[in-house]
Structure 1
Amino acid sequence: MELLSDRQIPLIAPNPPKLSEMGEELAAIEASGQYSNAGPTVSAFERAIVEQLFGGEGACLAVANATLGLMIAIRQAAGRNWRGERFALIPAFTFAATAHAAEWAGLTPLLIDSDPDDWAACAEAEDAAFARYGSQIAVVVPYATFGTCIDLERYRRLAERHDVGVVIDAAASLGALDENGHGFGQGHRFATVFSMHATKPFATAEGGLVYSADPACIDDLRAMTNFGFGMPRTATVAGLNAKLSEVSGLLASRKLAEIDSCADHRTRLGRAYGELLGDFRLQRLRGARPMTQFQSLLLPSHLAAFREDIIAGLAARGVGAAHYFAPHLGQQPYFKATARIEPTPVADSIAARILSLPLHDHMDVEDVRYICEMLFDSCAKTTSDKTMAATVSQPERTGTLIIGGGPGGMAVLNAAAKGGRLETLARSGLTMIDRDTVLGSGQLGTYSITSDSTAQTFLSAAKDTPYPAIEALVDSPGGRTIAHYNDALGVPLAETPPFLNALAASFTTIAQNAGAQVVTGYTVTGARQVASGGWRVQARMANGTREREWLAERIVIATGGYQDRESIGRECVDGAPLIELAGDRLMTGDMALRSGAMSEIRARLADAAAPRIAVIGGSTSALASIAMLLKASPALPLGANAVTLLHRQPLRPFYPSVEAAHADGFTDFGPDDICPVSGFVYRLAGFRLESRELVLRMLRVGGRVPDPRLTMHQVQPDDPQARRIVEQADLVIGALGYRPHALPLFDTDGNRIALCADLPGRPRLVDQQCRVIDADGTPVPDAFGIGLAAGFVPEGRLGGEPSFRGKANGLWLWQNDVGMMVVDHLLKGLVREAA
C-alpha cells in the first residue's frame, strides 16, 4: 500500500532504561563477580519495589520472565495432591503464555468467557464453571486485561468458598494503583504475577515479578526458582531455573525510579483517547491508576469485517495498529486441541472487533489526536471502497451451495466423509455459507438443557470415515468432554460446541483442500431461479455493508428451525387462541430453553408465592422445559401439581425392543408402533433419555413414582378445564415444536414461490426425498433441505414405525441416512451435468 504520511507512530515503542548510561553500575556488577543467584542488585530491587509500590507489605520475587513466574505460581497454588484431570480456570481472552504455564504445571486450561465491560474474566462464567466442574478446578488464573485492575476481593472470597488456589495474571499492571490508591495486588496473599518485558509499561529487557502479601508464599516460590533447593543444594520442592540476572535487576531498579512519571504520562494519553474516541466502545478501566499497555477499542459491527483493511490504512498513514488477542485462546489450534473450552460469545465478539492503537512513552497528546484522525479517515475510506467494490462485483459460480454451517449443514459433509465422497463433492464446486464466524454447533451451545441424542451418537460423527484426523477427534478435549456423558441421560448442549466445531473445522479443511469455498459472516437473503437451471443466490454481510452473489447449480437449505410467539399464540385451547388466554404470561419453549432463561423465569414468578406453570405441547422441547424447571438450582418454590403438562397426543417412551418394553411393564403399543427395520418400539415418536425417564415416571411404568410437582392433562377439542389451567397459570410455556426457517425463493420472473414451509402451523420444508416442496407439495427443482424442522420422516428401508405422523429430527439421522440421501442427490446432479 502506498504510504500517505512520513509521520511514523509505532504500536509499541519499548522504553527500558539505557544500559549505555549505567557504566559505573555495570562495572560494579563485574567487580562483584556475582551475575545471578539473588545477587545484591536484584535483592535491593525486590526490597525497594515492595516499599514503593506495595506500601512495605508482603514480599516480591524477581524472575527471569513472567511466564516462568506464572508456571511456578500456578504449580504452587494448585499443589499436586490429585488424580485424574484437573483444571486451571482461565479467561479465553488472554495471552497464550497463561494457558501454556498452566499446562507446564500439569493442568488442563479451562477457558471461559469475558466480561463485556472490562474484558476480564466473567464472574457468571466462573460461577458456572465451578457449578459444573467443582473440585476438579485446582486454580483460578484471572487476567487484569491490558494493565487494568480487577476486583481482587472477589477472588479472595472465591478462594475461600471453593478452597481453590488463585494466581493473578497482571502482566501489564506493574505500577498500577487500585481504587484505594494501593499497588495492584497489595494486601492479598495469593500470588500476583507481573511482566517486565521490554514491551510492557514497566519495561526492562526481559523479566517478571511475583508479589504476595504472604512472605512465606514468596519464600516457597524463591526455592522453586532455584531448582527447588529448599535446603543447601538439596531439592525439597518442584523447581526450575527462573532467577533474574543482576544486569536485568539493574534495569528494573532504574525503571522503578521512573515508573510514576511513566504511569502519569500514560494516564494523560488515555484520557485524551477517551475524549476523542467517543464513537467507539472502549474497555472499562478500573483502579485509581491503571497501566494501560496500549489503547484498545471495539470496532462497530459494520466495520469489524474490514479490520485488516483499516489496519493497513492506518499503516499507510504512519500509525501502527494490531488486534490483541484475536484469535483468543479458544480459537487457536493448539488450545482447541488441548484445552476444555466453555461457550465464549463475549470473547468471540471482542476478538472479532478489537483494534489496538499506540499508547507509549514516546507519544504526546498531539500524537493521540493525529492517530484518532487517521483512524476515522481509514474507517471512512475502507468502508467506502468496500461498499463500492461490492456494488460492482459479479456473481460467483459454484456447483452446490450449502446454506447454513450448523449441525444440519455439517451433516451433509459428515455423510459425504463417511461415504468417502467428501473430496468428490468439493471438487465439483462446493460452497458453504453461514452467518456466523465459527461453523459446527450452530445454536446448540446456547441451550441450557441436555441433548436427546446420546454421547455415543455425538461421537459417532467422527467414526467410520477414511480420515484419521477426524477419527482422532474422539480423543480431543471436546471429544473427551462428550465421552464423559457416555452413561448419562444425554449431553449438556452447552458442552457440545468444542467437539462439533472441531469436527466442522476438519470437514471444511478437507473440503477446502479439494477446492471448496467456505464463506462466513454472510446471511443469504434469497435465491432466484435461473432460466437455464440452478439458482442466483444473494447474501449480505451481517452489518449490511457488503453483498455477494452466487450462480449455483444446486442449493441445500440447512438454516434450522424457529419458534415465534405469534404463531404459537394462534394455537387454540378450548377454542380460544393462546395469546388471548395467556397474554404477557406466554413464553415460547425455545426462549425457555436458552441459557440464562431461568433468570427471566424467576423474574416472572417473583410475585407468586406458590407459582403455577402450564407447559403446552407433547414435543421433546416441552419435556425438556419441564425437566429444566424441576431441576432448577436454586430450586423454584414449586408445590404439588405446580407444573401442568397439557398435551393432545399420548406420551410415548422409546424402547429398543418389544421384549424390553414388556420387561419394563409397558404394553401400550401395537404392530404399527414397531419399526420393521430395527424392531424399536416408538422409534420416532418415543421420548428418549432424560425426557423418556420423565415420561416413564408420569405414566407410572414399572412401578415408577411421578414427581409430585408435576401433573398431566390431555387436551380435548372442547376442554374448559384446559382453559382454566392456562388462565390461572403464572407462566405459560408454549413448546409446540419448530417451524422450518425457510429461505425466500423466487421464480425466474421474480415472483415469490409459495413453499410448504410458509403454511400455518408446523409445516414441512421437504418431501420424503429431502427435496424442497412448494405449497402444493411439488418439488422445487435443484433445491434440497436438511436439519431441524425440515420435516423428513424415515420410511421404507430407512425404517420408522408406520403410525408416526410428526417430524423426525436427530443428529444420527442427519449425519447418516438423511445426509446420505442429500449427498446422493448432489452427486447425481453432477453425473447429469457431465452427461
Structure 2
Amino acid sequence: MDRLPLIAPRPPKLSLMAEALAEIEARGVYSNGGPVVRGFEAAATAQLFAGEGDCLAVGNATLGLMLAIRHAAGPRAGKGNFALIPGFTFAATAHAAEWAGLTPLLCDIDPEDWAASAAAEARAFEKYGDRIAAVVPYATFGAGIDLARYRDYAARGVGVVIDAAASLGARDAEGRQFGAGEPFAVVYSMHATKVFATAEGGLVHSGDAELIAAMRRMSNFGFAGGRSAEGPGFNAKLPEVLGLVARARLDEIEGVAAHRMRLDAVYRKALGGFAAEKGFEFQALRGSRPALQFQSLLLPRAFAGHRAAIIAMLGEQGIGAAHYFSPHLGEQPWFRAHGVSEPLPVCDDIGARVLSLPVTDAMSEADVERVCAALIDACAASGLKGLAGAERRGAHVHAALLVGGGPAGTALLTAASKSDALVRLAGAGLAVVERDAVLGRGEIGTYAITSDSTAETFLTAVKGNGHDGIAALEGHSAGQEVAMHVGKLGVPLARTTPFLEATGAELAAIVAGRGGIVATRSEVVEARRTADGVWAAQVINRVTGEVRVMRAAKLVIATGGYQTRANVEAEQVAGTALGALAGERLMTGDEFLRIGGLDALRERIAGKPAPKIAIIGGSTSALAAAALILKAAPALALGAEALALHHRRPLRPFYRSAEEAHADGFTDFSAQDICPVSGFVYRLAGFRLEARELVLRMLGVGGRAPDPRMALRRIGDRDDAATRGEIAGADVVIGALGYRPRALPLFDVDGSRIALAADATGRPRLVDQQCRVIDAEGRPVPGVFGIGLASGHVPDGKLGGEASFSGKANGLWLWQNDIGQMIVDQLLDTPAQAVA
C-alpha cells in the first residue's frame, strides 16, 4: 500500500531549468535583487495582487516577519513594549517579534476559526494600552481572517503585520488573493512544505508601495542607495536561483490550491457527519478558498488523551499525521520564560485535540477517503482496547501513582534517576498525573524573586546523571542559563522554568519509554481505599472533562503548598487577628511575591509622600519580600525604617562550619544548632543566599551596615500595643506567614473522609519522618506518601539537621536526594539507604 506522508514537497524542478541557470551564471549576479528576483516580485504583484502595491521577496518568511514587525514597531522597539500574538501559531512568529525588539504578548483564539479572538485582543488593549506596539495575527493554517479589524488598529496608530505564512494561494471573500492591497505588511512563506512550495523563501506584500520600499532598504542592511546604514537592517535577500523556483511556482499555484481545496471537501464530507454526535470538528474557513498545507481537525474530546496512539495507528497504515501547533506558544518553555501570556483556555482546548492529516499535491480523493476510514478505525480502537480502556473501568493497578509532576514531583523522579530506580519504578507500573501541559515547571516561573537554592543545586539534578538525555541538559541552553548564576545569590525563578521543563520532558520520556504512564493536563481530585487494599484515584482531564479511575497500590502526593487570604487574616499577631489589624491594607505574601506583586504595591502607595510597609513573618518568603522591596527598580520612596519586618523567632544565617561563622563574627549558636552529619551551622533553620545576605546586614554581623530603610521588630520583645500600633499605621501590610500543604482528599473503604493532619488549622504537617502522609491522630495512612512545599518532613538521624530545628524543611536538594530517595525506597520496598 502506498504511503501517504503528511507533507510531500513538490517544488518546481531546478533540473528542468538548465537554460535559466546558465543565464544566471553568465550574468554573474546571484543575489542583491538581481533580475530574476525582481522579475518574480513584479509578476507576483501583477498575477496575485492585481497590480496593487508592491512585493518584496526575502530569504524566508521568518526574516520577512522580523523586518515587518521591526518596521511596524518603529521607535517603540526595544523599550519593554509588546507584540500581540495569538497563542496558537508557529514559534517563528514570536521569535520574530523578539528579534525585532518586542516582547511576545500571547492572547487567546476564537474557537471557530482558530485565529486571534477579537475579545481577547480587546482585553489585551484595555490592560496594556500603548505598550502594544504591534499586532501580529496569524491566518491560521492557510485560511483567511477578518482584516477589517486590523485596518481599524492601523488607523489608530498601532503597528500591524499579518502572518499569512501558509496563505499564498488563498482567496478572500471577493475572490482575490488574501491580503491583497492592505495598508500594512502581509508576510507569506514559500518554504518547501507550503502550498506555494519552493526550496526556501518568503514574500512580503502591501498595498502601500512606500512601505515595501522601506522594507527593501531594511532587507539590505538599512542601506538607502549608498553603503551607509540609515536605519535598522540585516541581510534578508532571496538569491537568484531560488527566484527561478518561485517564478515557476507562480504559474502553478492556482491549480495546486484548487486541487487541495477539493481534497478538503472530501475530508469534511467523510468526517463532518460525526460532528452532530460531538465527533470531529473542523476549522471554520473565511474567504472563498484556503491554501491548505495539511488538513486540520479536532478529535472528539473522549479521544483527545489518546492522540499519540491514534497517530501511531495511522502510521502503521502508512499515513502521516501530526499535531500542529501543539504545544501552543503558551506551553513552550522559551516563551513561558521570555513572553507574557494572558489566559489561553481555547488554545489549551484546540491544542489538546488538534490533529493534522495529509493534503498533498499527489493525493487523490480516494486517498482522502482511505485516511478518513483509517482515522475512524484508530479512534474506535483507542477507545475500546488497551490500557486506557482498562483505566476507565478501573481494572489495571499501577504500582505507584505520583499525584503532581511539578518541581517536587519531578524532584522525586530525579532522585530515582540517579540510580536505576526510575527504570525499575516505571517498569513496575508508575503513573504520573500532572495538571499542567508538561512536567517540571509548576508555578515557580510565576514568582518575581530569586531561588533559595543555588544554581549549582539546580544543576546537580542533571550533572553526571546516568541517563544520557538528562546529563546532556547541563549543556542545553536552559542549563547554560541556570549556570550563568553559579556563585551568585540564587537564580531568578522565572529563569529556571525552561530548565525544569527540559528536565521534566526527559524524565517523562524515561517513564513512558519503560512502561509507565504520564498523563498531563489531568488532575487527581480524590482517592478512595478499596476493599482489596489499593487506592482508586478519580482523574479528570482538564481539557476535555473526561473522568476516569486509576488504581494504584501506592500514592505520592506532590501537589505543593498554598496560602489563602483567610488563613493569613486569621493569624494571631500581638494578640489580635492580622485581618482585624490590617483590613484592606493586607496583601498575602504569596500575592506579593508573584510577578506583578511589586507593581500592585506601587499602586497602593502611589501618592503617599512617606509610605510605610510592614512585613509579618520570619520565613524565607518574608525575607524574600523585603529583598524585593529594597532592590526595586525604580526604587521605592522609602525613608528611614519605612520597611519593618515583624518576626517571632530569631533570624539565623546559614554557615558551612562553626569556624566559618566565628571568622565572620557570628557567635549566636550552640552545639544544638550544628548539624552532626555535615557540620553546617543552622543547616535547616538558617537563611541562605539573598535572604542570608540581608539578615547578615540587618544583624550587623562582621561590621556590615544595616539598610537604613529597614527595621527589625521582634514580636514578643516589645509591648503588644506598640506592635499593633505600628502595623495599624502601615500603608501596606504583607502577611508572609508560610504555606499550608495541599492535601489530596482521601476516603476510607466505607466511604468516609479520612481526616488528615494537613487539614488542621495554622501550618500543619502532611507527613511524618518517613514521608508517610499522616491522619489527624498522627498515624500513617497506608501506602500514601508526600513530598514538596510545606509537606513538613524534618531531616534527622542519618539525614542530618540540627537538633534545635522545629520548623518545616523545604529544599530542592533534599527533595532531589535524601527525601526523594527515602520515598523511592518505600515505593520499591527496598531497605532505606543511608544517605548523608
TM-score (norm 2): 0.71
Distance 2:392 2:532 in 1: 23
Distance 2:393 2:826 in 1: 30
Which residue of 2 is the match for residue 352 of structure 1?
351
Which residue of 2 is the match for residue 218 of structure 1?
216
Distance 2:790 2:17 in 1: 78
Which residue of 2 is the match for residue 816 of structure 1?
817
- Higher mean C-alpha displacement, 53-62 vs 747-756: 53-62
Distance 1:67 1:743 in 2: 46
Q: Is the Cα contact below 8 Å between 1:685 and 1:806 reproduced in 2? A: yes
Q: Is the Cα contact below 8 Å between 1:401 and 1:431 reproduced in 2? A: yes
SS of the counterpart of 1:114? strand
Residue 618 of structure 1 and its aligned partner are, at CA, apart by: 0.5
Which residue of 1 is the match for residue 106 of structure 2?
114
Q: Is the Cα contact below 8 Å between 1:298 and 1:354 reproduced in 2? A: yes
Asked whether 1:528 is paired with 2:528, we answer: yes
Residue 768 of structure 1 and its aligned partner are, at CA, apart by: 1.0
Q: Is the Cα contact below 8 Å between 2:135 and 2:158 reproduced in 1? A: no
Deviations 1:572-592 (A, max 9, x none): 122211111222222221111
Residue 780 of structure 1 and its aligned partner are, at CA, apart by: 1.8
Quickly say closer, same or farther: Cα 1:597–1:64, change in 2 above 3 A.
closer
Distance 1:416 1:749 in 2: 35
Q: Is the Cα contact below 8 Å between 1:647 and 1:715 reproduced in 2? A: yes
What is the letter of the counterpart of residue 351 of structure 2? A
Quickly say closer, same or farther: Cα 1:488–1:349, change in 2 above 3 A.
farther
Which residue of 2 is the match for residue 638 of structure 1?
638
Which residue of 2 is the match for residue 503 of structure 1?
503
Asked whether 1:667 is paired with 2:667, we answer: yes
Distance 1:741 1:302 in 2: 29
Quickly say closer, same or farther: Cα 1:185–1:731, change in 2 above 3 A.
farther
- Higher mean C-alpha displacement, 705-714 vs 93-102: 93-102
Asked whether 1:403 is paired with 2:403, we answer: yes
- In the alignment, which of 156, 159, 171 is matched to residue 165 of structure 2? 171
Residue 463 of structure 1 and its aligned partner are, at CA, apart by: 2.4
What is the letter of the counterpart of residue 724 of structure 2? R
Distance 2:600 2:63 in 1: 45
Residue 151 of structure 1 and its aligned partner are, at CA, apart by: 8.1
What is the letter of the counterpart of residue 538 of structure 1? Q
Q: Is the Cα contact below 8 Å between 1:627 and 1:694 reproduced in 2? A: yes
Which residue of 1 is the match for residue 41 of structure 2?
46
What is the letter of the counterpart of residue 249 of structure 1? R
Quickly say closer, same or farther: Cα 1:493–1:351, change in 2 above 3 A.
farther
Quickly say closer, same or farther: Cα 1:151–1:743, change in 2 above 3 A.
same
Residue 649 of structure 1 and its aligned partner are, at CA, apart by: 0.7
Which residue of 1 is the match for residue 435 of structure 2?
435
Which residue of 2 is the match for residue 85 of structure 1?
none
Deviations 1:323-350 (A, max 9, x none): 6422346868xx98x9986676757737
Q: Is the Cα contact below 8 Å between 1:201 and 1:291 reproduced in 2? A: no
Q: Is the Cα contact below 8 Å between 1:341 and 1:498 reproduced in 2? A: no
Deviations 1:524-549 (A, max 9, x none): 22222234433222222335832222
Q: Is the Cα contact below 8 Å between 2:57 and 2:237 reproduced in 1? A: no
5+ residue gaps, structure 1: 1-10, 20-26, 78-87, 126-139, 161-165, 231-235, 260-275, 313-319, 361-380
Distance 1:796 1:688 in 2: 23
Which residue of 2 is the match for residue 793 of structure 1?
794
Q: Is the Cα contact below 8 Å between 1:110 and 1:342 reproduced in 2? A: no
Distance 1:124 1:474 in 2: 40
The percentage of aligned residue pairs carrying the same residue is 52
What is the letter of the counterpart of residue 493 of structure 2? L
Quickly say closer, same or farther: Cα 1:339–1:561, change in 2 above 3 A.
closer
Which residue of 1 is the match for residue 551 of structure 2?
551
Quickly say closer, same or farther: Cα 1:609–1:462, change in 2 above 3 A.
same
Distance 1:466 1:427 in 2: 17
Quickly say closer, same or farther: Cα 1:306–1:672, change in 2 above 3 A.
same
Q: For this pair of structures, how many residues does the alignment match?
A: 734
What is the letter of the counterpart of residue 41 of structure 2? E
Residue 633 of structure 1 and its aligned partner are, at CA, apart by: 3.1
Residue 681 of structure 1 and its aligned partner are, at CA, apart by: 1.2
Residue 599 of structure 1 and its aligned partner are, at CA, apart by: 3.3
Aligned pairs for 1:139-150 within 5 A: 144=138, 146=140
Deviations 1:325-378 (A, max 9, x none): 22346868xx98x998667675773763575999x9xxxxxxxxxxxxxxxxxx
Distance 1:31 1:654 in 2: 75
Distance 1:645 1:654 in 2: 19
SS of the counterpart of 1:518? strand
Distance 1:582 1:681 in 2: 36
- In the alignment, which of 185, 194, 200 is matched to residue 188 of structure 2? 194
SS of the counterpart of 1:423? helix
Aligned pairs for 1:641-660 within 5 A: 641-660=641-660
Distance 2:706 2:417 in 1: 44
Deviations 1:765-785 (A, max 9, x none): 111111111222222222111
Which residue of 2 is the match for residue 269 of structure 1?
none
Q: Is the Cα contact below 8 Å between 1:192 and 1:210 reproduced in 2? A: yes
Distance 1:725 1:633 in 2: 26
Q: Is the Cα contact below 8 Å between 2:37 and 2:238 reproduced in 1? A: no
What is the letter of the counterpart of residue 62 of structure 1? A
Distance 1:251 1:543 in 2: 41
Q: Is the Cα contact below 8 Å between 1:431 and 1:518 reproduced in 2? A: yes
SS of the counterpart of 2:817? helix
Q: Is the Cα contact below 8 Å between 1:675 and 1:801 reproduced in 2? A: yes
Quickly say closer, same or farther: Cα 1:301–1:530, change in 2 above 3 A.
closer
SS of the counterpart of 1:451? coil
Quickly say closer, same or farther: Cα 1:410–1:711, change in 2 above 3 A.
same
Aligned pairs for 1:129-148 within 5 A: 144=138, 146=140
Distance 1:830 1:532 in 2: 25
Distance 2:723 2:171 in 1: 63
- Aligned CA-pair RMSD: 6.1
Residue 738 of structure 1 and its aligned partner are, at CA, apart by: 0.8
TM-score (norm 1): 0.71
Residue 461 of structure 1 and its aligned partner are, at CA, apart by: 0.7
Distance 1:339 1:740 in 2: 26
SS of the counterpart of 1:496? helix
Which residue of 1 is the match for residue 758 of structure 2?
757
Which residue of 2 is the match for residue 451 of structure 1?
451
Residue 675 of structure 1 and its aligned partner are, at CA, apart by: 1.3
Distance 2:800 2:615 in 1: 31
Residue 29 of structure 1 and its aligned partner are, at CA, apart by: 13
Quickly say closer, same or farther: Cα 1:743–1:142, change in 2 above 3 A.
same
Distance 1:119 1:477 in 2: 30
Deviations 1:210-252 (A, max 9, x none): 468474863685799xxxx99xxxxx98988454445743664
Distance 2:123 2:802 in 1: 45
Quickly say closer, same or farther: Cα 1:612–1:395, change in 2 above 3 A.
farther
Distance 1:476 1:159 in 2: 37
Quickly say closer, same or farther: Cα 1:521–1:192, change in 2 above 3 A.
closer
SS of the counterpart of 1:494? helix
Distance 2:667 2:541 in 1: 54
Asked whether 1:570 is paired with 2:573, we answer: no
Which residue of 2 is the match for residue 807 of structure 1?
808
Residue 171 of structure 1 and its aligned partner are, at CA, apart by: 2.3
Residue 598 of structure 1 and its aligned partner are, at CA, apart by: 2.7
What is the letter of the counterpart of residue 814 of structure 1? W
Residue 631 of structure 1 and its aligned partner are, at CA, apart by: 2.6
Residue 48 of structure 1 and its aligned partner are, at CA, apart by: 6.7
Q: Is the Cα contact below 8 Å between 2:163 and 2:186 reproduced in 1? A: yes
Quickly say closer, same or farther: Cα 1:719–1:523, change in 2 above 3 A.
same
- Higher mean C-alpha displacement, 563-572 vs 451-460: 563-572
Distance 2:641 2:673 in 1: 31
Q: Is the Cα contact below 8 Å between 1:585 and 1:730 reproduced in 2? A: yes
Distance 1:681 1:486 in 2: 22
Asked whether 1:604 is paired with 2:604, we answer: yes
Aligned pairs for 1:659-808 within 5 A: 659-716=659-716, 719-808=720-809
Q: Is the Cα contact below 8 Å between 1:435 and 1:542 reproduced in 2? A: yes
Residue 459 of structure 1 and its aligned partner are, at CA, apart by: 0.3
Which residue of 2 is the match for residue 588 of structure 1?
588
- Higher mean C-alpha displacement, 709-718 vs 817-826: 709-718
Quickly say closer, same or farther: Cα 1:54–1:653, change in 2 above 3 A.
farther
What is the letter of the counterpart of residue 747 of structure 2? F
Residue 793 of structure 1 and its aligned partner are, at CA, apart by: 0.7
Quickly say closer, same or farther: Cα 1:417–1:627, change in 2 above 3 A.
same
Q: Is the Cα contact below 8 Å between 1:404 and 1:432 reproduced in 2? A: yes
Quickly say closer, same or farther: Cα 1:154–1:814, change in 2 above 3 A.
farther
